[in-house]
Homo-oligomer: A and B are copies of this chain.
Amino acid sequence: MTTLDDRTTSPAGPTVADVSDPSRLAEPHEAISAEELQLAARNHGIPLEALRYDVTPAGLHYLLIHYDIPEVDPATHALTIGGAVDRPLTVSLADLRLRPRVTRQVTLECAGNGRALLHPRPVSQPWLVEAVGNAEWTGTPLAPLLREAGLGPDAVDIVFTGADHGVERGVEQDYQRALPVADALREEVLLAYEMNGAPLLPQHGAPLRLIVPGWYGMAHVKWLRSIEVRTEPFEGYQNAVAYRVRQDADDPGVPVTRIEPRALVRPPGFPDFMSRRRVLRPGPCTVDGRAWSGHAPVVGVEVTTDGGESWASAELDPADSGDFAWRRWRYEWTAAPGRYVLGARATDASGRTQPVEQPWNRGGFANNLVQRVEVVVPAE
């Protein structure tokens, strides 16, 4: 880690940009850096055994927080709706709670999930496979509120701003993301004030956040304080610089949007503390896990026990938690003594599926490489 002592101060004195380092790729065999570890210690994933829960309990859902968790007083918090609208609005949480109330199960995944498995590795939050969770979000639909504010026909982008504030690559900013108007107006988009039946926790955006079912996590703006309608495309940092799939630093790239299909195996048996390899007793075993996609319903899951050499179909549970929740799958396996590498791959109704070798991109976004769960079945 570069320390402040290593840096030279410009004659005009230190600037905000001095806190940032340039974006970079890790060297070919470079292990995880101190900066990446700092992020991993803050922003945790779901422990994979928690794939057993249909709804992820508080504290086990993945978290990715760009800056600090801000302190927002729910009693005085207000959401403003402005920009290119006929009737700018300011609504309190109490106002929002009086509006129609909807609860949806939604699977959220970080756009950077899998990044730390890429070669070369983009240096950022070093996720392996665990940046996911499935919660019940309660709130009021966004679209009617936008219509009440009077959305003009020339509206292009809707900009959502959170109360969190920080610096990225030298740019001081409130966390701010835009959605195209058509996406913001979809009926499933919520202004959410509860998670799993309780008021939002601070780390999940208390007291108010956006939920954009099917999209990667960066769209679900937390600590939401402002909505602004724009008649020109939004060029803010999180849309125009970050969260783009690009091949190199000069490539303008394409925006990261909906979640690619992914299945995760709930690791069977029990683990070694350090290696996380599994011990499984020989005999019949139901291997199970979860599968999801933000593009279209999951229509199939296949399982491998040999690291992707061969595949067998898993059984999918009914999709009775809605179109945006993960689905449980299961596979009956008879484990003979030996060594195995388990994985699963999901296919959705759009035909998208998961690669065994990962296509690479500069930011490490939208990965859905098949997971590898190492299992030892001891001879008895």
The complex places the Cα of A38 from the Cα of B9 at a distance, in Å, of 37
Q: Please determine whether A42 and B47 come into contact, CB atoms closer than 8 angstroms.
A: yes
The complex places the Cα of A33 from the Cα of B116 at a distance, in Å, of 11
Q: Please determine whether B40 and A275 come into contact, CB atoms closer than 8 angstroms.
A: no
Please give, as numbers and ranges, the residues of chain B lying within 8 Å of A202 by CB-CB distance. 50, 57, 60
Any B CB within 8 A of the CB of A71: yes
Residue in contact with A38 in the complex, picked from B16, B35, B36, B128, CB distance below 8 Å = B128
The complex places the Cα of A67 from the Cα of B271 at a distance, in Å, of 6
Q: Please determine whether A273 and B167 come into contact, CB atoms closer than 8 angstroms.
A: yes
Residue in contact with A15 in the complex, picked from B32, B50, B379, CB distance below 8 Å = B379
The complex places the Cα of A279 from the Cα of B171 at a distance, in Å, of 12
Any B CB within 8 A of the CB of A359: no
The complex places the Cα of A41 from the Cα of B30 at a distance, in Å, of 18
Any B CB within 8 A of the CB of A260: no
The complex places the Cα of A63 from the Cα of B50 at a distance, in Å, of 14
A145 → chain B closest CB, angstroms: 29
Q: How many residues of A contact B (CB 8 A)?
A: 83
Q: Please determine whether A341 and B4 come into contact, CB atoms closer than 8 angstroms.
A: yes
Contact stretch, chosen from A18-26, A98-106, A183-191: A18-26
Please give, as numbers and ranges, the residues of chain B lying within 8 Å of A44 by CB-CB distance. 41-44, 63
Interface of A is mostly: loop
Q: Please determine whether B379 and A277 come into contact, CB atoms closer than 8 angstroms.
A: no
Please give, as numbers and ranges, the residues of chain B lying within 8 Å of A9 by CB-CB distance. 339
Given A41-B130, A47-B65, A379-B13, answer yes or no on A273-B166 (Cβ-Cβ < 8 Å). Answer: yes
Q: Please determine whether B40 and A37 come into contact, CB atoms closer than 8 angstroms.
A: yes
Any B CB within 8 A of the CB of A168: yes
The complex places the Cα of A275 from the Cα of B43 at a distance, in Å, of 14
The complex places the Cα of A67 from the Cα of B272 at a distance, in Å, of 7
Q: Which of A21, A30, A42, A127 has the most CB of B within 10 A?
A: A42
Residue in contact with A32 in the complex, picked from B33, B45, B57, B124, CB distance below 8 Å = B33
The complex places the Cα of A90 from the Cα of B332 at a distance, in Å, of 37
A141 → chain B closest CB, angstroms: 27
Residue in contact with A45 in the complex, picked from B41, B60, B168, CB distance below 8 Å = B41
Any B CB within 8 A of the CB of A376: yes
Q: Please determine whether B172 and A279 come into contact, CB atoms closer than 8 angstroms.
A: yes
A114 → chain B closest CB, angstroms: 12
Q: Please determine whether A376 and B14 come into contact, CB atoms closer than 8 angstroms.
A: yes
What string of 1s and 0s marks CB contacts (under 8 Å) between A272-304 and chain B? 111111110000000000000000000000000
Any B CB within 8 A of the CB of A338: yes
Please give, as numbers and ranges, the residues of chain B lying within 8 Å of A45 by CB-CB distance. 41-42
Please give, as numbers and ranges, the residues of chain B lying within 8 Å of A312 by CB-CB distance. none
Please give, as numbers and ranges, the residues of chain B lying within 8 Å of A47 by CB-CB distance. 42, 65, 68-69, 203
The complex places the Cα of A5 from the Cα of B140 at a distance, in Å, of 51
What string of 1s and 0s marks CB contacts (under 8 Å) between A109-148 and chain B? 0000000100000011011101000000000000000000
What are 7 A-B contacts with C-beta separation under 8 Å? A9-B339, A20-B274, A21-B274, A32-B33, A41-B44, A57-B201, A60-B202
The 8 A-B residue pairs with the shortest CB-CB distance, nearest first, are A13-B379, A59-B59, A44-B44, A31-B31, A32-B32, A40-B40, A19-B277, A49-B68
